Structure 1
Amino acid sequence: MAALSLLGTALWGFAQGLVGSNFAQIGADSGAMIVVSLIATAASALLVYYFRRRSSAAERAASWRALWRMSTWGWIALAVIACLTFNALIGGFAQQRGIEMTPTNMVLGDAIRAYPVALLIFAMGLAPAYEELLFRRVLFGRLWAAGRPWLGLALSSAAFALLHEPPGLSASHGWSMLLLWAVYGFMSLCFGWVYYRSGSLWAAYAAHAINNLIAVAAVLASS
């Protein structure tokens, strides 16, 4: 995803240079960067989908049935509430300690507010699809199938946190980064638990999408 984003950005800059745009004009086009991010994430999701652990027809049918059980939606609601509560607790702790938490994906706050539809497509459609396939189906799912679900939860959650706030590339550092790792790691644990309890990747996807929708609504409401 990072490689495709860099390639898309370079191609965009090259194309704009050919038509005579200056550096300031190229850098100011946040809409183009959002499109590049959407394409990079969608292509990465398709790649992960190709290498996923294949499911049988019976497993797919069982997963779909599980999505419509009341207990599954109970787990989804519990996961979302747990994520929101944990985020609030971490945010309160950071505020008391004077720690400024700046998630990397919030650096593009102005662009997010300018293109809310693109943001919704990314936050509720592409990002959850890519991340649930990679972290739940591939990483956690393979260890779950090997009889090591707790190891799968731990490793997939650590990877989830590191992808969202990569060391050296993140907008945060020090305690701020550690707290953001805790937020993302806990979020991944919740989504993985929903998948484990329900047996449906659709359930984990729904929890992830709802959580992102609430985050997007908060960003847009603050504009």
Structure 2
Amino acid sequence: MKQPPPPPFLSPSASTAAWVGFTADTLLAIGLMLVLSLFAGICLALFNVSSGQNQAAPGVLAQMLIAIVATGGTAAVLYLWRRRATAAEKAASLQAIHRRRTWVTSVLAGAAVFVGSLVVSWLFSRLSALPAPSNNALMQQAREQYPVLLVVFAVGLAPLYEELLFRRVLFGRLAAAGLVLPGIVLSSLLFAVVHEIPGLSANSWPGMLQLWLIYGGMGAVFAWLYQRTGTLLAPILAHAVNNGAALIMLMLGLSSG
């Protein structure tokens, strides 16, 4: 099997530029998420007022729409503005998509992430009470009220915009400069923190650390897969497989969230 060439030697200036770019991308992502979340929340609140609805807190549908606008919008803006694929990258990705190995590796990686998450959760459950992810209540309500939309959201939309942001933009910024390992670590850490935000999570610090380990491991596998295959479709597919398997368990009542 042909191995990818070793990363080129980085001059101090090139390495510094990569770190500056990554820092800027991260700060822009945080700022855009906050602004777009606020914008979407205000629009939904105005819509509720105009339609005569009076909700103290956004419902499950509103929360999903806010997530799509905030994270999806941030991913789209940063991709188009900061990390748009070049013609060469698009050609390499197309070649990778036509390789059967890419599809097989992606599906296996998604299954491995799902099984690994179950194993880690089981191990922690032997030591202490397993923390509930912050999106637990949202998934449960969506299962009851909007099952079809939940499938589209969890298996289709979320893997697409999360991989575009965390793997293409953030991990890709450092990986393109040869800083693959730091890119995997930092992008996975950010991926974990976004899913379980300190101050907003109802879990204790030990509980958040457990969930960060699961989400961080997931992000690391997806980043490795992106680097290995050369196409963003691979981590998107693996992410969808993982989410789909978790969703099946939720639908069957075999998982609490």
User: Quick one: distance in 2 between partners of 1:33 and 1:59?
Assistant: 34
Q: Which moved more, 1:7-16 or 1:98-107?
A: 7-16
Name 2:193's counterpart in structure 1.
162
SS for the counterpart of 1:215 is: helix
Name 2:241's counterpart in structure 1.
210
Q: Which moved more, 1:103-112 or 1:34-43?
A: 34-43
Q: Which moved more, 1:168-177 or 1:178-187?
A: 168-177
The answer to whether the aligner puts 1:37 opposite 2:57 as a matched pair is no
Structure 1 segment 50-61 matched on structure 2, within 5 A: 50-61=80-91
Would you say the 8 A contact 2:121–2:130 is kept in 1?
A: no
User: Quick one: distance in 2 between partners of 1:162 and 1:28?
Assistant: 22
Offset at 1:8? Answer: 2.4
Name 1:93's counterpart in structure 2.
123
Cα offsets for 1:168-194 (capped at 9, x unmatched):
112322221111000000000111111
Aligned partner letter, 1:205: I
Q: Percent identity?
A: 41
Between the two proteins, the alignment pairs up a number of residues equal to 221
Task: Flag the 1:59–1:221 CA change in 2: closer, same or farther, 3 A.
Answer: same
Offset at 1:199? Answer: 0.9
Task: Flag the 1:29–1:205 CA change in 2: closer, same or farther, 3 A.
Answer: closer
Aligned partner letter, 1:179: Q
The answer to whether the aligner puts 1:146 opposite 2:171 as a matched pair is no
Cα RMSD after superposing both structures: 2.2
User: Quick one: distance in 2 between partners of 1:175 and 1:205?
Assistant: 29
Gaps of 5+ in 1: none
User: Quick one: distance in 2 between partners of 1:116 and 1:77?
Assistant: 24
Name 1:4's counterpart in structure 2.
36
SS for the counterpart of 1:190 is: helix
User: Quick one: distance in 1 between partners of 2:37 and 2:58?
Assistant: 17
What is the TM-score with the length of structure 2 in the denominator? 0.77
Offset at 1:19? Answer: 4.7
Which of residues 148, 167, 187 in structure 2 aligns to 1:136?
167
Gaps of 5+ in 2: 1-32
User: Quick one: distance in 1 between partners of 2:58 and 2:234?
Assistant: 38
Offset at 1:129? Answer: 1.8
Name 2:212's counterpart in structure 1.
181
Structure 1 segment 105-120 matched on structure 2, within 5 A: 105-113=135-143, 114-120=145-151
Would you say the 8 A contact 1:157–1:184 is kept in 2?
A: yes
User: Quick one: distance in 2 between partners of 1:160 and 1:60?
Assistant: 25
Aligned partner letter, 2:45: G
User: Quick one: distance in 1 between partners of 2:94 and 2:202?
Assistant: 39
